Structure 1
Amino acid sequence: MENGSATWLRSFVPRPDAERRIVCLAHGGGGATGFRPWAQALPGTEVIAVQYPGREDRVADAFPPDLAAMAALIADELAPLLDRPYALFGHSMGATVAHEVAHALRDRGRPEPLRLFASGREAPHDEEGGKVHLMDDDGLAEELRRLGGTDAEVLRVPELRAMILAYVREDYRLIETYRAPYRPPLTCPVSVFLGAADPDLDPARASRWAESTTGPTDLRVFPGDHFYLVPHRAETLDAVAAALG
């Protein structure tokens, strides 16, 4: 869990005496530092953020061939940290990756998470793929503007635009080529979060995460769009803390 570029996990505020850990996985185009403000906000919980390749301190690192391979690599690095209970929180693409990580850990004989938080994403069995990763740079940049998660000013700087679009394209490739394999569902509780004005997800579709587990599920709709958890961070963290109990 060092800050070396070869590793997947970041702990901005180590809490060796914490009762539990929560492992946070960002949206496509996002990085681990997006969860830095969470580091001291959850009582009794150490926050671990996953750093995808191609960005921040992993700018030179290669991408895995597919999403399942990425989840397996994350699970391998996460396994030694399961000396205490853990939860998984994934937003957008990160929700799908978190679901795959839970399965990868279970396949290794490790415990399932205390709870899986699936934010801003349809259930894995509803993934329909897409062709955004095949668009030219202008089309890819327009998709980022549509979702609202990237500063438009940053995309006007040629060097930054090229770097950002390179790893965003790879993220979209991973999620758009992913198809969930058939396997027994998880047994852990699943909390589903979404923004009321998310352009790509509504409560009816989000509620289909219930089919991903035999455990209980609950649905929470927050004010805001796809990236509701940025302006409504405090409300999101309160909901996470309450669910962790």
Structure 2
Amino acid sequence: MSTGGPPRLICFHHAGAGVSAFARWQSAMGSAAEVVPVLLPGRGPRIREQRITDPDRLIAELDSLIGPLLERPFAFYGHSLGGLVAHTYAAALQRSGRPLPRLVAVGAVLPPHLRSPVLAAAALPDDGLLHRLVDHGVLPPGAVDPQETGLWRRRVLPALRDDLRLGEALCAAGGAALHSPVLAVAGRGDAIATPEGVAQWSRYALDGFELRTVPGGHFFVRERTLPALLAGVLGEAAAAPRLVSSAA
């Protein structure tokens, strides 16, 4: 593995989203890491491509997208659904004997054995799915009004539904414990992935675990606190790779 340049921080987005949440991360990271957002099919410039709901296809897609980028030290960050994606791909690298992430960081996501109550909503009709998302604070109350959200329902809701199906499939496939340090980040006001639930990622960490909490709810990925936190942790990991169990 080449060691030239800073480590790459490969970022996986949350359900129904693209990579816009990571747009300003590079300035926050500075020289701590090169930020590499990963856009899954079916959104943004990949809108016409078939969305992924199958774990095996996900791994093949990620091999194609980021496999060539793993020639120098790297870390993963995944938010909500992206946390399950990061864990799944790290486990796939581990099974195949390939280089492992310096750090696997997951945010706003429960571990596979707990499963978010939102994932099962993928099978509901549109109104039922929207009400479930509103009830859990993922969407504002106005999201259930078809007159206000018609375009959103047509463009975003199908991708969101398929992303929830993918998340459910990743949880159903189970989760391997990783030989990479694991950092779990929870929003103190997150009603879906509470700090107590997020802390249970510790059972998936064979080489060190840390829990950090940050201000905000489920979408704290949009705030400046998170990339600054990750920049600091990556710097610490470079100096002393093993994390220890703690809560901040």
TM normalised by structure 1 equals 0.83
In the alignment, is residue 53 of structure 1 matched against residue 41 of structure 2?
yes
What residue is the counterpart of 1:9 in the other structure?
none
Distance 1:134 1:200 in 2: 18
For 1:238, which of 228, 235, 240 is the aligned residue? 228
Q: Spell out the pairing of 1:26-175 with structure 2 (5 A cutoff).
A: 26-44=13-31, 45-127=33-115, 130-149=119-138, 152=142, 156-175=148-167
Q: Decide whether aligned partners of structure 1 residues 49 and 147 sit closer, same or farther in structure 2, where only a CA change above 3 A counts.
A: farther
Question: Following TM superposition, by how much is the alpha carbon of 1:192 offset from its aligned partner in structure 2, in angstroms?
Answer: 0.6
For these two proteins, the number of residue pairs brought into alignment is 226
Structure 2 unaligned residues grouped into runs of 5+: 236-248
Match of 2:194 among 187, 202, 209: 202
Identity across matched positions, percent: 31
1:25 match = 12
Give the deviation of 1:134 after TM superposition.
1.2
Contact 1:95 1:121 in 2 (8 A): yes
Distance in 1 separating the partners of 2:91 and 2:26? 25
CA distance in 2, matches of 1:182, 1:144: 25
RMSD between superposed Cα atoms in Å: 2.3
- Measured against aligned partners, the alpha-carbon deviations of 1:110-151 in whole angstroms (never above 9, x if no partner) come to 211010111011112333774311111112223343455557
Q: Is the 8 A contact 1:71 1:98 kept in 2?
A: no
Structure number with the higher helix fraction is 2
Looking at structure 1, the residues matched to 167 and 12 of structure 2 have their Cα atoms a distance apart, in angstroms, of 13
Contact 1:188 1:214 in 2 (8 A): yes
Q: Secondary structure of the equivalent of 1:40?
A: helix
Q: What is residue 242 of structure 2 aligned with on the other side? A: none
CA contact (8 A) 2:53 2:163 kept: no
Task: Describe the shift of the 1:137–1:127 C-alpha distance in structure 2 as closer, same or farther (beyond 3 A).
Answer: same
| Structure 1: runs of 5+ lacking an equivalent | 1-16
Measure, in 2, the Cα distance between the counterparts of 1:204 and 1:65. 28
Give the conservation status (yes or no) of the 8 Å contact 2:14–2:78: yes
Letter in 1 for 2:189: A
